[in-house]
Amino acid sequence: MKLRRNILLGKANLLAFFFLIIFNNYLISDELTYEGKFIELKILDKVSSKNYKVQIKIGEEKIFKNISIKPFKCKNSEFDDNPEIIAYLQVKDIKNIGNDEVFVFNGWTFSSSPSINTFDHPVYDLWLTKCFN
């Protein structure tokens, strides 16, 4: 009888332990990341070698010369001294209408390592610099 009660108590403790771990990770992840309402991109025009800073509201489309940029989501992680900034972007080349590709770039971009998911365009380079409210 004692053995059965100890086994049930051990299972209840184990279940409570896993619940606390999952709940604690959920609370920590909400505190360490926040979503912004605006993003800031640095755009390099490779032809003229000029840099531009562009701020775009999340969900709105911005036309910059020959490309259209639309951010859908942006997050900051404040985990350490150098926070990671990520954003989901869709970029269209509006000059090349006859192109079969819909987007030049469609995916997540990372501020610390833009080479993970590269934006490949013959005229422009994009770098994510900020995500803010």
2 and 50 belong to one structural domain: no
- Nearest-angstrom CA–CA distance, 108 and 110: 7
**Which residues in the chain show pLDDT less than 70?**
1-34, 78-82, 97-101
- Those residues whose C-beta lies under 8 Å from the C-beta of residue 69, and which sit 6 or more positions away, are 41, 54, 56, 61, 62, 63, 89, 90, 91, 126
45 and 12 belong to one structural domain: no
Q: Length of the chain, please?
A: 133
81 and 40 belong to one structural domain: yes
Per-residue pLDDT at 21: 54
84 and 110 belong to one structural domain: yes
Domain ranges, residue 5: 1-32
Per-residue pLDDT at 25: 47
What's the total number of domains in the chain? 2
Beta-strand runs (E) in the chain: 33-35, 38-45, 50-57, 62-64, 67-77, 84-93, 105-110, 124-132
